[in-house]
Amino acid sequence: MCLAIPGKIVSLVPDEPHLGVVEVTGVRRRVDLGLLVEDMPSVGDWVLIHVGFAMSRISEQDAAEQMQLLTVLGENEAAMDEVRGYGVEDAGELRSTGESPGCRKTSSTIQ
Q: What is the pLDDT of residues 25-44, one digit of tens each?
A: 888 999 999 999 998 999 99
Residue 24's nearest CA partner among 7, 44, 41 is 7
SS3 86: coil
Per-residue model confidence (pLDDT) at position 44: 97
* pTM, two decimal places: 0.68
Residue 7, beta-bridge partner list: 47
Q: Where are the domains positioned within the chain?
A: 5-97
pLDDT over threshold 60, residue 12: yes
> What CATH code would you report for 5-97?
2.30.30.140
